[in-house]
Every structure is written in C-alpha cells, then in structure tokens.
Structure 1
Amino acid sequence: MAKYMLIMRATDESLAEFTNVDFTEAMNAMGKFNDELIRAGVLLAAEGLEDAKEGVVVDFTGETPVVTDGPYGETKELFGGFYILDVASKQEAIEWAKRAPLTAGSKTEIRRVPTVDEFPQDNEWIQKERVWREQTGQL
C-alpha cells in the first residue's frame, strides 16, 4: 500500500459552476463520496481549505521572508482541499479521483507521499522522525 494525496484544484470555470450548485446537494454528494472512501478503508485524511483571500503567502524570494495577504496567485495555482488515501497503486488513486463529485472544470492533482523508509536512514533527522512517527503511531 502507498499513500497518495489528491489535491483538489479549482479553475475559474469550476468556481463559476459551483455558484449554480445547491450547497446541500454538494455536501450530500461529497459526504457520499467520503463514505465510500471510508467503507473501502482507504481514507487517511480529508480537509477543505478556507478561501484563499483569507490566507497569506510567506515568500522567500528575497533576503528576508515577505508576508503577503490573500487573495494571491491565479485561480489555477490554488487548491481548495485534499484527500490522503492509502491505496495499492497510483492507478487506484486515479480511479478514486475520477469518482469525486466535483464541478465542471475542476482538476485533481495526484501525488504519492513518500515514506520515511525512502530517505537515507543514517541521517540524524530521519532517525528522529522515525522515532516520532513510532511514538505517535504513524509508522
């Protein structure tokens, strides 16, 4: 099994489409999808994010970090939520992503989450992370 993150990305088209969707219907559809993930035993985490206009960006381009209030970036650069699934393959993660009840124009980026075992085990910080993960039941 491997962990995959499904990053839900909005587009101008999907945001416009969402204004036409009944909120209760949208929540029901998402709730049913979440329930399927739970019943299949693949859901590890799922969260929606607050609107980007409420966020900030810490930019490390210069010598000192600069904090910029939202909104920031173009719509296509933002994501509104994520799932973390524990599935057998990238293809299985893709199949789950294709079933998500998203509005037209939405996009989902899928990325594997590496395990601590994939990093050099002789590194002091990797060893400390391994201990932390064992102590918190994440390993």
Structure 2
Amino acid sequence: MSKYMLIMRGTDETNAAMMANLDEMMATTRQFIEDMMKADVLVAAEGLDDPRQGVVVDFGGEAPVVTDGPYGETRELFGGYFLLDVATKQEAVEWARRVPAVRGSKIEVRRVAEADEVPQGGESSGQI
C-alpha cells in the first residue's frame, strides 16, 4: 500500500461556483468521504480557509519576507486534500475521478514519499 494525496486545486471562479451550491456540495462530499471510509482507504481529509486569511513567507531574498494573502496570482489555489492509502496509483486516480468538484476544478494526485526514500546525510538526488 502507498499513500497518495489528492490535492484540490481551484480558482476564484470555481470557489464561487462551489459556494453557490454549498449545501449540495457538502452533502456530496460527506457521501464521498463515507465511501472512502467504507473502502478503508481514507487516512485524512481537510479543507483550507480562504487564502486571503493566510500569509506567505517568501525566501527569495536575503531575509524571509512575510506578506498577507495568497501567493502570486490566484488563478489556481490549493483548497484542501484527501490523503488515501491505496494499492496503486491507478486506484488513487480512480478515487480522484470521483471527487465532488465543480467544472473547472482540478485534482492533483501525488504519491507521498516514504521515509526511506528521503535523501539522508548529504545525499542529494533532487527528488524526495
């Protein structure tokens, strides 16, 4: 089994569409979560607060700079995630295809690296 993160990515427009149908989206999402729990694949699921409530710590200069609000342009924002423990990448993709999402949204599927895959003691493979 491997862990995969289904990262919900939306835009200002998709977030507005979701809010317009919030009750329906929440009911559909609750059912989706129940389905994942019954299948014993759900590890965690979280949604994020409005990006305007966050801050960005930018390490682009000599000292970190903290600014309010979302990073860069808000054409695409990370809105939350589902963390699954499944047998294959394809199984993770199949769950991603079932995520209740509005038209224009995207779900990024990423495998979570195991501890033994992280470079140790000065090794640098360029990947985690």
Quick check: TM above 0.5? yes
RMSD over aligned CA atoms reads 1.7
What are the residue-to-residue correspondences of 1:1-139 with 2, within 5 Å?
A: 1-21=1-21, 23-119=22-118, 123=121
Structure 1 letter corresponding to 2:78? F
Larger radius of gyration: 1
Gaps of 5+ in 1: 124-139
Compute the displacement of 1:18 (Å). 2.0
Structure 1 letter corresponding to 2:11? T
Gaps of 5+ in 2: 122-128
CA contact 1:13–1:104 (8 Å) conserved in 2: no
Which moves more between the two structures, 78-87 or 4-13? 4-13
Distance 1:115 1:76 in 2: 31
Compute the displacement of 1:78 (Å). 1.5
Compute the displacement of 1:14 (Å). 1.5
Q: Indicate the SS of the match to 2:20.
A: coil
Q: Indicate the SS of the match to 1:102.
A: coil
In structure 2, the CA distance between the partners of 1:105 and 1:118, relative to structure 1 (3 Å rule), is same
Taking structure 1 as the reference length, the TM-score comes to 0.80
Write out per-residue CA displacement over residues 6-58 of structure 1, whole angstroms, 9 at most, x where no aligned residue.
Answer: 1100024422422431x221111000000001110000010000000000000
Compute the displacement of 1:120 (Å). 5.0
Tell me how many residue pairs correspond in the alignment.
Answer: 122
Higher helix share: 1
